[in-house]
Chains A and B, each alone.
Chain A
Amino acid sequence: SQQGEEDPQALSIQEGENATMNCSYKTSINNLQWYRQNSGRGLVHLILIRSNEREKHSGRLRVTLDTSKKSSSLLITASRAADTASYFCATDRGGGATNKLIFGTGTLLAVQP
């Protein structure tokens, strides 16, 4: 079963605008990760936020985590046409040593030039 659910399923914006994607999950986590997938390619890791962190930045990316609401958001500022891709959240529930992730169904972002 899916742990993460992204919202919205699809998002279309103009270049230069900010894009916000949300992720909700169901169980407690060790960390939450965001990945990008360009059409026809493998997933690329963007950022990891641990359960004891509330906000993290990486370049134009800002991730927040609210463990009380079991939700996370990914903000891409000043978007570019090259940001067009699908974005997935993935949760690591920790425990054991398997490092398994459970992925959501993704948000398809289209940035219009």
Chain B
Amino acid sequence: DAGITQSPRHKVTETGTPVTLRCHQTENHRYMYWYRQDPGHGLRLIHYSYGVKDTDKGEVSDGYSVSRSKTEDFLLTLESATSSQTSVYFCAISDRDLGVYEQYFGPGTRLTVT
């Protein structure tokens, strides 16, 4: 998986609790992305980062925040988890500055909010 890990791989949490998912890369790519995948919706972009401390919203950012304090780590936080955030979350990386226009994906985190 191109030097990308996600943790945890599976998590069950209760409604209203905060949850943080971690994406770690060893490729030194500049761009990192968080997606969620739900049946019938494909992948939808939550947030992305174009450098350390540089982040922006995607199409489904409500209820999520991100942080990137180091090139290799991109954290996704669900501030107060809701059942609608039950999903599979994928992290991806790319670096067009290096001519890498395709994205490389991590293995995913399956999150269940009860």
Contacts and interface: CB of A to CB of B under 8 A. Distances in A.
Contacts, number: 62
A103 B43 contact: yes
Given A42-B1, A105-B40, A100 B101 contact: no
Interface residues of B, number: 30
B74 interface: no
B81 to A, nearest CB: 22
Given A88-B43, A97-B96, A103-B43, A42 B48 contact: no
25 contacts: A1-B59, A31-B101, A33-B101, A33-B102, A33-B103, A42-B1, A42-B90, A43-B43, A43-B103, A43-B105, A90-B103, A97-B50, A97-B97, A98-B50, A99-B31, A99-B94, A99-B101, A99-B103, A100-B58, A102-B45, A103-B35, A103-B42, A104-B42, A105-B42, A106-B42
Contact of B107 (A33, A42, A103): A42
**Closest 7 pairs between A and B when the two form their complex, measured CB to CB:** A42-B105, A45-B102, A105-B42, A103-B43, A43-B105, A103-B42, A99-B96
Interface of B: 1, 4, 31, 33, 35, 40-45, 48, 50, 56, 58-59, 90, 92, 94-97, 101-108
Contacts of B106: 42
